[in-house]
Amino acid sequence: MGGASGAASGRLRAALLAAAAVSLPSTAAQLVHVQRIDGSTAEGRVTRIADAVELQTDAGPLRLGWDEMMAMRPASLAPTPAPAPGALTVELADGSIITGRIVDRPDGAALEFFGGAVRLDSRQLSEIRTTGASASASARLAELRAEAEGAQDVLVAARGAESVVLRGVVKQIDAERITFTWNDKDTAVPWSRVAGVRFARPTVRGASGAVVLHGGDVLAGRASSEDGQRVVLRSGLLGEVVLEWSQIERIEWRSERLVYLSTLRPARYEHTPLFDRPWPYRFDRTISGGPIRIGGRAYERGVVMHSRSSLVFALDGGFDSFVATTGVVDEVRERGVVTLRVIGDGRTLWEAAGVRGGQPPREAVVRIRGVHELILEVDYDDDLDIGDHAAFAAARLIRADAP
């Protein structure tokens, strides 16, 4: 399977523009909310996005450096479209996440979305997952996602109400099935039985940011805007993509000063269940495998744990602060009451007690200069441990200067 061609990138640009013109209202949503990596915010109208972000605020012009930025959201958001029946979600090695359907073409299988198509190259794929998988199969895929990358591809398939895990090599992908080689035997598995497949050691391509679209698609690359009216995303895998503000949920920046905790390997995980059922921790997903939401807002990154748990990270002492948006995840509704703590080198640096499901999120901004062991803790509070699924959303470490 080969990479995306220049012609495919051109078709993608045209398709995205057509989708903006036909599927969504064309509005110049220039008023934006900006969040810096230190948790502070600003609001204004975008005049330019280049090496810096330039806003016109009520107090006058504001210029924000690239390494200060974390995210930007249009002040008014369009409705989120529902995924098409039978859609697949493809995660690329640069962090792009695209939902669509697989089609067969003369030059190989492709993912068709927004009326365009991008060829599927196994060297540039991290994961493919389906939307109609059983709960057990989806949960097993989430567990595999938290494991270290292996030398083999991993396929999770449904077998009745249960799931089966195959380890081997993806031989072929087409619109109807995935052909998987395991135990020296080729097995064709229809997509209706597939929960997902994780690819071993893709060729990772770093990106300096990403644009998140309504519906959850993520296009990794560097965003810019010369006039504040449209956003141009330049992507190593997708080429140049032109987007209307009405398509965009948020723009994210990736600074060398910022490290998300979910990209690090914990030194250890300690869990004391109240009863006999143990609970794992999850990165970038809820414990059940769903998206992280607190107070109605979605977070692409984060750490989710069940009481009573402690997740320990070994640091180099060179970070200035830890920042996260905390709370009980929305999927447990109003259940769950926890105490949350951030502990550095044995000292409690931040604590929030009586954190309940359904409450607005709480911001944790914690000074950790010189800290070598950082612990995130979810403890019991009232009501035993019922629904105690808590998140440190967008949990991140910040240096004073880029390394």
Q: Name the average pLDDT for the chain.
A: 83
**Structural domain of 391:** 258-398
Residue 325, in any domain of the structure: yes
Residue 227, pLDDT score:
84
Residue 145, in any domain of the structure: no
Residue 355, in any domain of the structure: yes
Residue 194, in any domain of the structure: no
Asked if 236 contacts 182 with a C-beta cutoff of 8 angstroms, the reply is no
Residue 180, in any domain of the structure: no
Residue 133, in any domain of the structure: no
Residues 135-161: tens digit of each pLDDT: 777 777 777 776 656 788 999 988 777
Cα gap 156→141, rounded to integer Å: 6
Residue 293, in any domain of the structure: yes
Residues 216-275: tens digit of each pLDDT: 888 899 999 988 888 999 887 777 888 888 889 889 988 788 899 998 999 999 988 877
Our count of domains for the chain comes to 1
Asked if 271 contacts 263 with a C-beta cutoff of 8 angstroms, the reply is no
- Any idea which of 57-66, 79-88, 164-173 has the lowest mean pLDDT? 79-88
pLDDT band at residue 316 using 50, 70 and 90 as cut-offs: very high
**CATH number, domain containing residue 297:** 2.60.120.1060
Residue 388, in any domain of the structure: yes
